[in-house]
């Protein structure tokens, strides 16, 4: 166990080391300060702005900013969906895949547009190389850039500044952050053996041929199988933006558990650091933009402690394994079901908690095979959406919880709540409540419908685990995460269509509310700080914020957790079938 915990500790230490460096760079990018890429990219940006008719000096109010988000994302969606629908008629289709069903294409396009990348299909056999590059990878960039732009706009509004220009923020998110880092990451992945090719299926000789019975013309004959066809494609380029953009959708069905997407422990480490890079660093970026790095470190430390606690809980559960299996074997063994031997329980746990905490959704082990308590931590991450949260939206949700904590604390001490020199009043609390309540509504209502309508749920386990499968699928869609308990039979018309509104509402309803909240705060007159002003940059208030996050999250989703993973855990302890 010690070696596994050491691996986890080293990875987290590397993450913390990256935060101030990358966070400072992000602050320079979005405050319009000079970066080392500007001499090369400024002329290209200016050409793009001129071609699109963008007035870069125009600062948008909250509704024009939100409208630009919605209109541009609709413009991204339409061609991406059409490419998927008619891929058989398009070039770069060496595997000869046909057009997908309309509902599969619709779900896929919406899923990638919303930075969710929930996949109700087997990637190798459903989409062509052209679709993977021109549609899905394209959406990976613009969806991640959209979230990053919204997060920066929210920070500006909270600090009393103009929200900025969405088109400028979108462009700089891609050209200064996502594209250069993705290109660098793709080269590293390529050097480690991740394929990057437009070739079709590759035929290879098997090391260990096997025999099989084949029925032909009413007779059974024995046939020897000594070769296998392997899927390759433009994997390396997709892999880097998959993690850096917190997208999560892979070119292969088992995602980062496949050796072509994640060949070795080094690439596994790199993937974890990439998916953590933006959401962790944005907290430091906030401190820089606020002119109060201490505030950034307090928020970062608060989320880091919660993250470490969840990793620890999941690690202990996975290391102890399943009690029924241990009783059968007569010895204690870690849980190895659904995990890759080259990663083991420790890296599987860290990846699972990181990918659900950051709303990435990539997996290097099957979450359906996690022990009940480890599965609970992944669900809990997606319920909260702040450990560390989605691309850009994560920092916004953290600051919303900070606002709620300030409001509740102000009520307790009898003062009008203030945050960063602005009074928190009825409108701000109402919008914060809307942002908080959207998430449980888009999860719990469709979950109840799926369980109530006979024959649509697709549950592969009739026990407590089956309930968790359904809850997980809608939670993953609503949180824009995309991972799944893949024992669920989700490749159906019901799941494709019922998750689409969850994906859209879970993505765009909070974005509009966040921008409205930021727009209102940006127009408020600042109030001078007094000796009675509540300071939010202290460790004590970090504890208050953490308590607010945990209490609100637990109260909202506790019944679901009790009926699902906690009940399954209790059944395992009682020696019953799981």
| DSSP H/E element including 270 | helix 265-289
CB-CB contact of 377 with 353 (8 Å): yes
Q: What angle do CA 22, 362, 397 make, to 5 degrees?
A: 55
The long-range contacts involving 406-414, CB below 8 angstroms and separated by at least 24 positions, are: 406/534, 406/536, 407/432, 408/548, 409/534, 409/541, 409/544, 410/534, 413/534
With tokens 């080269």, the residue in question is: 187
Q: What is the pLDDT along the chain (578 residues), one digit of tens a residue?
A: 778 899 999 999 999 999 999 999 999 999 989 999 999 999 999 999 998 888 888 889 999 999 999 999 999 999 999 999 999 999 999 999 999 999 999 999 999 999 999 999 988 899 999 999 999 999 999 999 999 999 999 999 999 999 999 999 999 999 999 999 999 999 999 999 999 999 988 888 888 887 877 666 666 777 788 888 888 999 999 999 999 999 999 889 899 999 999 999 999 999 999 999 999 999 999 999 999 999 999 999 999 999 999 999 999 999 998 887 788 777 888 988 889 988 989 999 999 999 999 999 999 999 999 999 999 999 999 999 999 999 999 999 999 999 999 888 887 877 778 888 888 888 899 999 999 899 999 999 999 999 999 888 888 887 899 899 999 999 999 999 999 988 888 889 999 999 999 999 999 999 999 999 999 999 888 887 777 677 888 999 999 999 999 988 778 898 899 989 999 998 888 765 44
Torsion angles phi and psi, residue 214, rounded to 5? -125, 130
Predicted TM-score (pTM) of this structure: 0.93
Number of Cα atoms under 13 Å in the Cβ half of residue 540: 3
How many residues are there in the chain?
578
| DSSP H/E element including 220 | strand 219-230
Domain range summary for the chain, segments of one domain joined by + = 23-196+240-290, 199-232, 354-573
| DSSP H/E element including 210 | strand 202-216
SS3 (DSSP) at 318 = helix
């Amino acid at each position: 166990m010690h070696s596994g915990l050491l691996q986890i500790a080293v990875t987290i230490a590397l993450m913390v080391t990256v935060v101030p460096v990358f966070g400072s760079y992000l602050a320079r990018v979005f405050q319009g300060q000079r970066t080392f890429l500007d001499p090369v990219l400024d002329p290209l940006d200016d050409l793009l702005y001129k071609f699109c008719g963008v007035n870069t000096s125009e600062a948008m109010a909250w509704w024009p900013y939100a409208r630009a988000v919605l209109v541009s994302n609709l413009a991204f969606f339409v061609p991406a969906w059409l490419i998927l629908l008619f891929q058989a008629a398009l070039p770069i289709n060496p595997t000869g895949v046909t057009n997908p069903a309309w509902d599969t294409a619709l779900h896929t396009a919406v899923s990638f547009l919303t930075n969710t990348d929930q996949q109700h299909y087997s990637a190798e056999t459903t989409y062509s190389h052209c679709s993977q590059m021109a549609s899905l990878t394209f959406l990976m960039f613009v969806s991640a850039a959209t979230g990053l732009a919204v997060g920066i706009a929210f920070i500006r509004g909270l600090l009393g500044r103009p929200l900025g220009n969405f088109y400028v923020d979108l462009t700089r998110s891609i050209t200064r952050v996502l594209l250069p880092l993705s290109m660098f990451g793709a080269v590293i992945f390529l050097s480690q053996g991740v394929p990057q090719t437009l070739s079709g299926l590759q035929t290879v000789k098997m090391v260990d041929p096997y025999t099989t019975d084949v029925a032909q013309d009413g007779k059974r004959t024995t046939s020897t199988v000594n070769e296998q066809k392997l899927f390759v494609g433009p994997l390396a380029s997709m892999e880097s933006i998959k993690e850096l953009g917190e997208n999560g959708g892979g070119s292969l069905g088992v995602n980062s558990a496949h050796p072509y997407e994640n060949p070795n422990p080094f690439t596994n480490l790199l993937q974890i650091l990439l998916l953590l890079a933006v959401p962790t660093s944005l907290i430091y970026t906030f401190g820089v933009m606020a002119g109060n790095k201490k505030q950034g470190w307090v928020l970062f430390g608060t989320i880091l402690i919660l993250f470490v606690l969840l990793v620890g809980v999941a690690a202990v559960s996975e290391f102890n394994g399943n009690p029924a299996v241990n009783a059968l074997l007569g010895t204690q063994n870690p849980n190895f079901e659904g995990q890759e031997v080259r990663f083991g329980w420790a890296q599987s746990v860290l990846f699972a908690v990181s990918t659900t905490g950051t709303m990435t959704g990539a997996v290097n082990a099957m979450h359906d095979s996690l022990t009940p308590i480890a599965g609970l931590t992944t669900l809990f991450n997606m319920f909260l959406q702040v450990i560390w949260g989605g691309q850009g939206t994560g920092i916004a949700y953290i600051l919303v919880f900070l606002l709620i904590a300030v409001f509740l604390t102000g009520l307790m001490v009898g003062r009008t709540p203030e945050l960063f020199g602005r009074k928190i009043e009825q409108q701000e609390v109402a919008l914060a409540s809307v942002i908080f309540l959207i998430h449980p509504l888009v999860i719990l209502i469709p979950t109840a419908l799926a369980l109530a309508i006979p024959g649509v749920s697709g549950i592969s386990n009739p026990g407590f685990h089956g309930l968790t499968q359904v809850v997980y699928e809608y939670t993953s869609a609503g949180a824009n995460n995309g991972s799944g308990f893949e024992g669920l039979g989700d490749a159906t018309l019901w799941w494709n269509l019922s998750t689409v509104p969850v994906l859209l509402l879970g993505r765009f309803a909070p974005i509009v509310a966040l921008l409205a909240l930021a727009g209102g705060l940006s127009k408020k007159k600042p109030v001078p700080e007094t000796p009675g002003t509540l300071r939010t940059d202290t460790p004590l208030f970090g504890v208050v914020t953490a308590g607010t996050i945990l209490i609100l999250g637990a109260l909202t989703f506790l019944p679901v957790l009790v009926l699902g993973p906690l009940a399954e855990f209790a059944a395992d302890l009682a020696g019953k079938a799981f």
